[in-house]
Amino acid sequence: MGLDYKSSGVDIEAGYRSVELIKQSVKETMRPEVLGALGGFSGAFSLQKIKEMKNPVLLSGTDGVGTKLKLAFLMNRHDTIGIDCVAMCVNDVACAGGEPLFFLDYIACGKNEPEKIARIVKGIADGCA
């Protein structure tokens, strides 16, 4: 076995294809406070508006879709995964009285299937709209 991505099972070309397929969906979700673009190693969000607030507090939330993932695969409906994940995270922040500012995602998969990834991210974008 070689010491490169391909021989370890990582398909770099599929990764590039996934990014190309999701660019527009991601771009459509960006508020003016989002700094930078898709592809960086971190997300940046301007806090300039914080100056207008008295005693500001930043809330953070994370959640997953749980067993609904199995249903999504059985039905071959992957956009619903993204929508549901955003809804669960937004609900947690809103219940604490916060305004959802941004959403960070991480998609773990055994094999990168760009079209499937694009449907998941489109669902995330729809959930953020």
Question: Tell me: the pLDDT tens digits for 32-89?
Answer: 999 988 877 888 999 998 888 899 999 999 998 888 889 998 999 999 999 999 999 9
Q: How far is CA 61 from CA 25, 93, 95, 106, in A?
A: 22, 6, 11, 14
What range defines the domain where residue 129 resides?
63-129
At 1 the pLDDT is 58
- Compute and round to an integer the Cα radius of gyration of the chain: 17
Q: How far is CA 126 from CA 14, 71, 80, 120, in A?
A: 23, 19, 9, 10
pLDDT mean over 6-27: 92
Summarize pLDDT for 83-118 with one digit per residue, the tens.
Answer: 999 999 999 999 999 999 999 888 888 889 999 999
Residue 84, in any domain of the structure: yes
CATH classification of the domain holding 84: 3.30.1330.10
At 37 the pLDDT is 85
Number of domains present in the structure of the chain? 1
